[in-house]
Amino acid sequence: MALLTMLLLSLTVNSAFSARIAAFCTIGKSQYMNLRGILEELASRGHEVTMVIPSTEKVQLSDRVQHKIFKIPYEPGFMENELLKLELEGDKFRLLSKMMEVLSTVCESVLNDTKIMEELRGYDLLVYDVLGVCGALIGDRLGVQRVQMLVTPNNPFDHMIPTPLSYIPMMVLPGFTDKMTFLQRVTNVVAYIGLGLFKDLLFARPMDALKLKYNITTERSYQETVDGVELVLIRADFAIEYAQPLLPGNVMVGPLNVKEGKPLPPDLEEFVNDSGGHGFIIVSFGSNLASILPRTVVDTLATAFGKLKQRVVWRLKGYIPSFLGSNIKIVEWLPQNDLLAHKNIKAFVSHVGHDSLYESAYHGVPLVAFPQFADQHFNAKKAENLGNIMVGPLSVREGKPLPPDLEEFVDNPGGDGFIIVSFGSNLASILPRTVVDMLATAFGKLKQRVVWRLKGYIPSFLGSNIKVVEWLPQNDLLAHKNIKAFVSHVGHNSLYESAYHGVPLAFIGLANIRSLQKLSPMYTTTLVTRCKNVILSVNPGSTIKGM
């Protein structure tokens, strides 16, 4: 009898210290997984937990975490098929407009679900992430205390987080770091003001309209409601983030996805161990991009990966190239954290999402970054600033043998070597005649041989040391032992290929023509200057002297 009394007493005490906690997720697989991880930990400590998600989320239900699903007027996969395609197409304005439309629709859908709203009444706490913009309205409507999860402290418009603009760059300026010039700081201030106005127009006003429609604390604005959260938890660490002050209610809890590795599935363990001592790399661009990468990009990557000595574990869905190398294993899902913890891992080819950035840093795995959207470009810059990343084009590789006629031309230059001239595929046929004549005159006076990519107008007075071609194997020529210099417009690929092979650049500033390629002359010049391998920099109207 005494034992039964003690058991009942312990159960009573345990229930007295437990709480009812709900999490609200809008869109995003990684967002869902992080919130679910929090709830599972809380459930293991005796709390009653519930996850509220839209009908588009594909999830595995759990006994420990109850799921409440509300219907939204979108089909599963709409994020990949509608939102991310706009990003990949570069249509950012339509993307942001569509995103706000989606978030407002999701918010209205859950507010109209009277069953879920009634079931959540009486909960002790509501947790939501940065995309769960409706979490603030749900919490206010039900009178539930709120905790918001952020992925970075760089969130200057919510929760009054101090953001010194002199050394905290806005995320829309991924080329900036915490060490900014005066002009960059001015640009950062302008970006801050613009983003504030944009956020008010695109996000705050529609949310204010919903507050008014559903009579949710109409005496204060949506922004005041957001700022009224009880606690802000930040899934980041100042080991990677730029240092900035925080308020008492802003707590850095570190990345929730990072942990020690577990043993791999037997088939995967066998594949990564059977590499002849060369190790393996993993390739993953996240759950959203795995099935919508353009075929041309997939083919380029497959060709490059097939030439590696390392084994490659590649997360890919949808289109699978038919010519995959025997060293490549395609999977629809991979245990990323466990693979990064493996002793044979050599590198991680990634889009540099928040979780991938922190997992690679924790396990000390070098990153090869191909950022695509959202915060990924900003993340890549942070990692590059730390020195554990390579951001580069797909074209960089070791050189291959040249075609026989080209090899004969460059391999017999009388000891003076050769240079190559290329202004990219777009400019090869549209250079003004005056510019072509000026360059031809200068190149004809050189001791070096010249391989020049040129189409359309060809001067009649070309020197005997010049070979004009419509196309050239640029990477292979840059890898040649006799190369002396590269005359270039300094496009992205050209910049990185010349840096990789250690070839001096002669930068011809074709700013007015290069605008056709949508390249910023100022940005390109900055990159070249930082590489410190420029031997010449001229404008098309200036005189070029022989090298």
Q: Is the Cβ–Cβ distance between 294 and 373 less than 8 Å?
A: no
For 535, the 3-state DSSP assignment is strand
pLDDT at position 529 over 50: no
Q: What is the mean pLDDT of residues 521-528?
A: 36
User: What DSSP state is assigned to residue 470?
Assistant: S
* Alpha-carbon span 95 to 281, nearest angstrom: 32
Q: Enumerate the domain spans of the chain.
A: 20-252, 266-391, 404-520
Which residues lie below 8 Å from residue 292, measured CB to CB, with a gap of 6+? 80, 81, 84, 85, 88, 318
* Alpha-carbon span 275 to 310, nearest angstrom: 6
Banded pLDDT at 184 (limits 50, 70, 90): very high
pLDDT at site 166: 94
Which residues lie below 8 Å from residue 181, measured CB to CB, with a gap of 6+? none
Closest CA relative to residue 505, chosen from 533, 527, 483:
533
Which residues lie below 8 Å from residue 16, measured CB to CB, with a gap of 6+? none
Q: pLDDT tens-digit profile of 120-174? A: 988 999 999 887 788 889 999 999 999 999 988 888 888 788 899 999 999 888 7
pLDDT at position 453 over 50: yes
Banded pLDDT at 509 (limits 50, 70, 90): low
Among the listed ranges 260-264, 288-292, 499-503, which one has the minimum average pLDDT value? 288-292
Question: Count of CB atoms within 10 A of residue 373's CB?
Answer: 18
Q: What is the mean pLDDT of residues 193-200?
A: 87
Share above pLDDT 70 across residues of the chain, in percent, rounded to a whole number: 83
Banded pLDDT at 403 (limits 50, 70, 90): confident
Q: What is the mean pLDDT of residues 509-521?
A: 38
Phi, psi values for residue 288, rounded to 5°: -80, -35
pLDDT at site 113: 92
Token duo for residue 523: 């940005």
**Residue 114 burial (10 A CB sphere; 0-12, 13-18, 19+):** exposed
CATH superfamily name and code, 266-391: Glycogen Phosphorylase B; (3.40.50.2000)
Mean confidence (pLDDT) of the chain: 80
| Strand extents, DSSP E, 332-376 | 345-350, 367-369
Q: Which CATH architecture has domain 404-520?
A: 3-Layer(aba) Sandwich (3.40)
pLDDT at position 380 over 90: no
- In what helix (H) or strand (E) does residue 435 lie, and over which residues does it extend? helix 433-444
Task: For residue 149, list its beta bridge partners.
Answer: 129, 233
Check: CATH 3.20.20.410 for 20-252?
Answer: no
Q: What is the mean pLDDT of residues 17-39?
A: 84
- List the strands of the sheet with 389-391, edge to edge: 328-331, 311-315, 280-284, 345-350, 367-369, 389-391
Q: Which pTM does this prediction carry?
A: 0.67
Please give the single-letter amino acid code of residue 530: R
User: What DSSP state is assigned to residue 504?
Assistant: P
Among the listed ranges 88-97, 142-151, 470-479, which one has the minimum average pLDDT value? 88-97
